[in-house]
């Protein structure tokens, strides 16, 4: 199985310093939904791992978060794409939970649910904490320049061998090309 883990805000949809608090505020980044559909069509499963501290801050509730994700899933479906699993952390930075990125609880749970070795996974984010959560387990980290990506790149300190891409569309192309080159190096064995 092939798996890509995506952050949400700043990767799939435009981010806001005031949080995405309603379905009306959720707006996809140009090309991001098509990129997910392309990954799906290329044999990748896609999991979402997103910090959503707006819940603990009282800015929105679970019903609203579900409505935002319903809008995202419907919009993605129009391009023939899908999210195979959606993981979120509702906690604030002071809650000291194990799931809020840069801690890796969500990433570890994704690995368990998909029964996959995380060092075979691609992980796309726009902030250092997104990458740190996945790098702990050897995932191929990819920073997109959308959302907080430019600021993250300027601040430095990225995990070793992080790929930097303009956006999710470019990241998807690079993931697919990398996967295809691996299969050329290691073709499937014949049972004949």
Q: Choosing from 7, 126, 130, 167, which is the catalytic residue?
A: 7
Question: Is 7 among the catalytic positions?
Answer: yes
Asked whether 164 and 126 are in contact (CB, 8 A), the reply is: no
Beta bridge partners of 85: 47
Q: Choosing from 9, 15, 130, 167, which is the catalytic residue?
A: 9
If you count them, how many residues does the chain have?
192
How far, in Å, CA of 123 to CA of 140, rounded? 6
Asked whether 150 and 125 are in contact (CB, 8 A), the reply is: no
How far, in Å, CA of 24 to CA of 46, rounded? 24
Question: Is 9 among the catalytic positions?
Answer: yes
Residues labelled as active-site residues: 7, 9
């Amino acid at each position: 199985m092939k798996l890509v883990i995506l952050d949400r805000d700043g990767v799939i949809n435009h981010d806001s310093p005031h949080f995405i608090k309603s379905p009306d505020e959720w707006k996809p980044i140009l090309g991001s939904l098509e990129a997910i559909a392309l990954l799906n069509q290329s044999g990748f499963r896609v999991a979402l791992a997103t910090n959503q501290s707006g819940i603990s801050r009282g800015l929105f509730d679970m019903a609203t978060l579900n409505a935002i994700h319903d809008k995202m899933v419907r919009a993605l479906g129009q391009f023939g794409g899908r999210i195979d699993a959606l993981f979120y952390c509702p906690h604030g930075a002071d809650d000291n939970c194990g799931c809020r990125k840069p801690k890796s609880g969500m990433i570890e749970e994704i690995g368990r649910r998909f029964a996959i070795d995380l060092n075979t996974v691609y992980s796309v984010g726009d902030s250092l904490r997104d990458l740190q959560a996945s790098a702990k387990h050897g995932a191929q980290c990819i920073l997109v320049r959308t959302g907080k990506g430019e600021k993250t790149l300027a601040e430095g300190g990225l995990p070793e061998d992080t790929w930097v891409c303009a956006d999710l569309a470019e990241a998807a192309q690079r993931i697919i090309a990398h996967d295809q080159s691996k299969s050329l190096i290691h073709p499937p064995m014949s049972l004949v």
